């Protein structure tokens, strides 16, 4: 009995070392939902940070529903990050234009 307890402890410790680290903001699992959740709401506001938040929310929703490929999602995510950097630097109009360009490039409506 004394040998089993240390072996069990060792096994649990080893398993914990191999567990993946949690991600702060993991993207949704592609195709994990069939419809947009009823509690889904787009962020409000008119500045560049609000435009970026809305586009990011749409992308996360589209990925979770399987409407956008992971590779396209990754590209859009990089484009959003670039716009976010521009927005944070105080270039509101330029950041908004970057989001519009990304939407046009990927077939999203821009006149809503």
Interval 58-70: pLDDT, tens: 999 999 989 999 9
Number of folded domains in the chain? Answer: 1
pLDDT band, residue 106 (cuts 50/70/90):
very high
- Does residue 51 have a pLDDT over 70? yes
- In this structure, is residue 21 part of a structural domain? no
33 within some domain: no
- Token pair 């592609």: residue: 30
**pTM (whole model) above 0.75:** no
Among 37-41, 53-57, 67-71, 102-106, the least confident range: 37-41
**Is residue 12 one of the residues assigned to a domain?**
no
Q: Would residue 103 count as lying in a domain?
A: yes
Handedness of CA 49, 78, 27, 22 (dihedral sign): negative
Q: Which domain does 89 fall in, by range? A: 43-112
Tell me the percentage of the chain whose pLDDT exceeds 70: 70
């Amino acid at each position: 009995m004394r040998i089993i307890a240390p072996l069990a402890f060792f096994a649990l410790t080893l398993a914990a070392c191999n567990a993946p680290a949690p991600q702060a903001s993991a993207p949704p699992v592609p195709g994990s939902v069939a419809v947009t959740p009823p509690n889904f709401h787009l962020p409000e506001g008119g500045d560049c940070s609000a435009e970026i938040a809305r586009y990011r929310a749409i992308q996360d929703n589209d990925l979770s529903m399987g409407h956008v490929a992971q590779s396209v999602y990754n590209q859009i995510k990089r484009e959003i990050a670039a716009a976010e950097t521009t927005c944070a630097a105080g270039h509101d109009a330029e950041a908004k234009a970057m989001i519009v360009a990304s939407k046009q490039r990927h077939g999203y409506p821009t006149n809503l």
